[in-house]
Amino acid sequence: MELISPVDAMFLLGESREHPMHVGGLQLFEPPADAGPEFLRDLYQSVIACQDVAPTFRKHPAELLGGIANLTWAFDKDLDLEYHLRRSALPSPGRVRELLELTSRLHGSLLDRHRPLWESHLVEGLNDGRFAVYTKIHHSLVDGVSAMRMMRRSLSTDPDDHVVRVPWERNERPSGKSRPRPSLLSELRGAAESVLGIGPSTLYLARKGLFEQQLTLPVGAPRTIFNVPIGGARRVAAQSWPIERFMAVKQAAGVTLNDVVLAMCGGALRAYLQEQKALPDRPLIAMVPVSLRDDASPGGGNQVGALLASLATDLEDPAERLTEVAASMRRNKDVFRELPKMQQLALSAFNVSPLLLSLVSPALGSAAPPFNLVISNVPGSREPLYWNGARLDGNYPLSIALDGQAMNITLSNNADNLDFGLVGCRRSVPSLQRILGHLEDSLAGLEQAVGKKGRKTPASRRKSTATTKRSAGQ
């Protein structure tokens, strides 16, 4: 058995039928030119044959003393891969619309806690000849960065590499002496030390953030249509944009790429809320996850900090919005980077504490939201990637909607593109796909504001999952 960390346990404790706590991803692949009609069947059989499964993909919650759950992990010794990896086919006419409907249903269903907490679906039947892979894994097992690393291990930069690899494969043992797994007692001691470290850090933050008023805190977010109780059904939307457009705005404005992304999202959300006649006077606040994982960190678990940033949705002018977003992020990062890792975690816990309390006690859901939504930029690959010769056209990360947080935006770079995945409560966020158009309009507005060509990406070049092959992650 292995002790479940407090952060990982939170995702188990907060889960219910209305609140699935898994992260997912939708990948679109272009088969190699010489692929025959049996390509997908053979690929599936090759994947099923990969039986050397890493411990992370064998975990499920155990029960202590006959009934105490969510404290330790058990490891499945007889993993049924045919249960976890499934073949699916789209109904006619096999458009991306049908793919997204299937993905929405899969993303809204719970994982079975009596089995290891993950599933993968190989989806065929797209009318443009491509195939898709939808994978979901419980957030108690991985964070966004570790999930992306696992995905990356199964892919190759060589289009002629036909060795079939899978994310759940056990890593090769590193050279040199391996460190023994910490005992249950040592893990408990480490957790206690983490709690004790919160006190000094809280005092520091009070002085640095409150007295000097440098910090965006979880007390200023307005209530919006995103900050309501949600149901269990989900809707997903996805689209890609050339990364060169973001880089041009970044260089012209002297900001970071993430600043451009946040300003683009701020403009899109402003337009969407205006359309819904629900734009608040105060700016929306986004929670921006920050990876605390170093290169030597193991693949599983959660090592994520949380910053809050203004999206400047109260500003109509794109240039002013970008300036305010960049300033907000700069102030918060200046405070964050001065802290050691333990205190960074304490600050992150403080930022999300109102949301965590609402998970424990739904009665607290009427309180003001700590932030309006999560916008997460997960590092991907800068090179084209292939799986058994099939080119990765689109890699759309899909995260979690929560009570009081009815929509989530997650993105990742994929070669020359930024791939956006949007997840929303099917009941609370009407016409989620319309936000994709607003994102395009907002990016074009930023290009105009910094003196670049503000011409929208033509439909023939836009990397969207809306209609055709050429518009879906080409």
pLDDT of residue 451: 85
Q: Give CA torsion, residues 325, 330, 336, 339, to 10 deg.
A: -170
- Asked if residue 146 and residue 250 are part of one domain, the reply reads no
pLDDT at 423 (0 to 100): 98
- Does the pLDDT of residue 347 top 50, yes or no? yes
| Spatial CA neighbour of 136 closest among 113, 153, 111, 114 | 111
83 alpha carbon, distance to own chain's centre:
24
Q: Could you tell me the CA-to-CA distances from 458 to 347, 351, 471 in Å, in that order?
A: 43, 40, 10
Domain check: are 237 and 316 in the same one?
Answer: yes
On whether residue 159 sits in a domain, the answer given is no
**209 & 107 share domain:** no
176, pLDDT greater than 90: no
Condensed to tens digits (0 to 9), the pLDDT of residues 268-310 reads: 999 999 999 999 999 999 988 876 555 545 445 445 567 889 9
More confident: 104 or 473: 104
- Could you tell me if 305 and 350 are in contact, meaning their C-beta atoms sit under 8 angstroms apart? no
pLDDT tens, residue by residue, 185-205: 444 444 444 444 445 545 455
Tens digit of pLDDT for each residue in 302-335? 455 678 899 999 999 999 999 999 999 888 877 7
d(CA 6, CA 352): 14
Mean pLDDT in residue range 423-439: 96
Check the CA dihedral 438-442-447-451 and report its sign: positive
- Domain harbouring 48, CATH code: 3.30.559.10
* Alpha carbons 220 and 284: distance in angstroms, whole number: 9
In a domain, 178, yes or no: no
Q: Pick the more confident residue, 339 or 423.
A: 423
Instruction: Evaluate whether residue 326 is within a structural domain.
Output: yes
Residues 242 and 94 both lie in one domain: no
Q: What residues are annotated to the active site?
A: 139
User: Is 14 inside any structural domain?
Assistant: yes
Same domain, 13 and 123: yes
Tell me, letter by letter, the H, E, C secondary structure of 11-31.
HHHCCECCECCEEEEEEEEEC
Does residue 109 form part of some domain? yes
Do 220 and 84 reside in the same domain of the chain?
no
The pLDDT of 224-244, averaged and rounded, is 95
Domain carrying residue 134? 2-153
Structure tokens at 330: 């700069």
pLDDT band at 13 (very low <50, low <70, confident <90, very high): confident
Q: Give the count of domains, the chain.
A: 2
Of 89, 121, 153, the residue that ends a domain is 153
The residue ranges of DSSP E strands in 259-356, in sequence order, are 285-291, 304-310
Q: What is the mean pLDDT of residues 67-74?
A: 78
Which CATH number goes with the domain that contains 275? 3.30.559.30
